[in-house]
Amino acid sequence: MRAPSTAALLVLASICLDQPYCFAQVQQQDPLKDPRLRAKYREACPAYEHYARFSHRPLSDGPMELPFQRPSAHCRTFDSDLVEKIIKDLNETMVDKDLARLFNNAFPNTLDTTVRWHRDGTETEDLPALPLTRIGSPDAWKGAQSFIVTGDINAEWLRDSTNQLAQYQRLARKDKAIENLILGAINTQAEYVIESPYCNAFQPPPPSKLRPSDNGQGDHVHPAYEPSQVFECKYEIDSLAHFLRLGNELYHNTGSTAFLTPRWYSALESLLEVIDEQIQSTFDSETGSFRRQEYRFQRNTNTGTETLNLAGNGNPLNYGTGLVRSAFRPSDDATILGFYIPGNAMMAAELKRTSKILSVAEKPNLAEGLKARGEAIEKGVWEHGVIKHPKWGTVFAFEVDGYGSSIIMDDANVPSLLALPYLGFVKAEERTYQNTRKMILSKAGNPYYLTGSQFSGIGGPHIGLQNAWPMSLLIQAMTSDDDEEITVLLEAVKKASPLGLVHESVNVERVKDYTRSWFAWANSVFAQTILDIAERKPHLLFGPGADAYVVGE
């Protein structure tokens, strides 16, 4: 944790001194409710990426004595009384107090630390001061807006931000502030997709007046993008699928269609244009001549997963598959064979979910179009993404090229093959999925299933061959119905979180060797897992005979 600067100490000292009514009404003044005072407190708050690296008291009552890692109430970026109630409920009822402490830290982590900017839609003073050249359309950035950073990087990933908010979706029906935060996130993502639909990570919105940051890379990308608005432009099909999922989940939990604004429809149009462009083959289906990809990416790097070969086009893909190319995986690693099956499965599922919402919104033609696209991609997954393995039987491949080549593996990042039921593509008991599950959770079947003396799980090339991701164990738990398996997985994740937070990855031989002390997405997945188990299998958390705990009811 960094030491407060002199300026920060002066801020703390002056918080009351510049309030004429401070001493007379000290009991009535709540700095957490006064925006001006709260802003001053925040100036003195330590950077959370430093704060999270150290243990803070009080410690949990369990044998691990896990630290309390929430920032001071004055430093939190968003508040919800309902979130606090759920934390209190589970702290009081969970048998494992170390696991309860981990939930205490992880469940509110997105709200506590990553809501870098939020407006509820009633403000009007920010936009007129900005030149039109910086905000695009005069209709841009209207209504509620939410800028959700990924954690220790001051940028918003479409995928990460959707998942960071996922554990709050079921609260939105009862907590209007949460609903507004998620609505703002949808609106903000819509602006990003309109601006640069091929990009994955974005700078702060212009109305936020937050300073953009540089990713330090000299990327050569087509189509070109505006660096003041885009942090990184790796095209990943799942980023666009996650944009749809954010709205689909809000509708599923609240029934609200407030996000179906003209800007959202414009974003949907941009998304569909990308699908149409990326469903095209590397070669013309009639002449056989080479056709440059609409999206191309090259980076000067000595790491092969950070760039695309063949002048940024990537390896050749066949035509007529119904699948959509993805240049990169959700790990931000380049695909080897561009038809990334988990991403296509997710896009198929989300297109079909969105089509149902548009039917309710009386957009029958658009709804039918999305349904047809989703079904075509789904058909492509089953026809080209399923192979016969000599040991494991009929399984899903990780990537294919439409020529018969396939990559057999899985990666911890979602979407993944392991997560297919979680994504709504198949039921967990479906035979091909079960065969795939056995394969990818085996050292003999998945080159990135990593095992060591202290930890085992799925990793990926993004971090290396010694680090597995706790996130993979959490997805495994949410897609399992086996009590013993779930219990073992939760225990493993807990043991790999001695700092009281879930890390990006841990060394399988030494769990205290980790990447990223603060990684909001992983903590959100942990919170989702606990809430899922509290509802499906409450006895595993609360003891024999316990009633289900269902949030949002």
Fold of the CATH domain 280-447 = Glycosyltransferase (1.50.10)
Assign 37 a pLDDT band (cuts: 50, 70, 90). confident
Residue 460, pLDDT > 50, answer yes
Q: Which residue has the higher pLDDT, 218 or 409?
A: 409
Q: Residue 77: phi, psi to the nearest 5?
A: -95, -10
Q: Give percent above pLDDT 90 in the chain.
A: 86
> Residue 199: CA atoms inside 13 Å, Cβ hemisphere, count?
30
What pLDDT, on the 0 to 100 scale, is given for residue 29? Answer: 46
Under DSSP, is residue 510 helix (H, G, I), strand (E, B) or coil? strand
Under DSSP, is residue 79 helix (H, G, I), strand (E, B) or coil? coil
Residue 181, pLDDT > 70, answer yes
What pLDDT, on the 0 to 100 scale, is given for residue 35? Answer: 65
Residue 134, pLDDT > 80, answer no
Least trusted range by pLDDT, from 34-38, 179-183, 267-271: 34-38
With tokens 């058909």, the residue in question is 379
| Concatenated DSSP letters of 405-474 | -EE----SSSS-STTTTTTTSS-TT-HHHHHHHHHHTSTTT-TTEEE-SS-EEE-BTTTBSSEE-HHHHH
Least trusted range by pLDDT, from 67-71, 72-76, 474-478: 72-76
Q: What is the pLDDT of residues 254-297, one digit of tens each?
A: 999 999 999 999 999 999 999 999 999 999 999 999 999 999 99
User: Which residues, at least 6 apart from 6, have a Cβ–Cβ distance to it below 8 Å?
Assistant: none
What pLDDT, on the 0 to 100 scale, is given for residue 339? Answer: 98
Question: What's the whole-number mean pLDDT along residues 455-465?
Answer: 96
Residue 86, pLDDT > 80, answer yes
Bridge partners (DSSP) of residue 387 are 395
Task: Calculate the alpha carbon distances from 105 to 70, 170, 211, 536, 539 in Å.
Answer: 6, 19, 28, 22, 22
> What does pLDDT average to over the chain?
92
What pLDDT, on the 0 to 100 scale, is given for residue 41? Answer: 80
Q: What is the pLDDT of residues 292-349, one digit of tens each?
A: 999 999 999 999 999 999 999 999 999 999 999 999 999 999 999 999 999 999 999 9
Residue 356, pLDDT > 80, answer yes
- Find the distance separating the first CA and the last CA of the chain, reported in whole Å: 39
Q: What is the pLDDT of residues 469-512, one digit of tens each?
A: 999 999 999 999 999 999 999 999 999 999 999 999 999 999 99
**If phi over 0 gives left and psi between -120 and 50 gives alpha, with beta otherwise, what is residue 308?**
beta
- Full 3-state SS string of 153-190: CCCEEHHHHHHHCHHHHHHCCCCHHHHHHHHHHHHHHH
CA distance 144 to 134: 19
With tokens 């079909």, the residue in question is 352
Bridge partners (DSSP) of residue 220 are 298
Give per-residue burial for 526-550: e unless 16+ CB within 10 Å, then b: bbbbbbbbbeebbebbbeeebeebe
In the chain, residues under CATH classification 1.50.10.10 are 280-447
Residue 26, pLDDT > 50, answer no
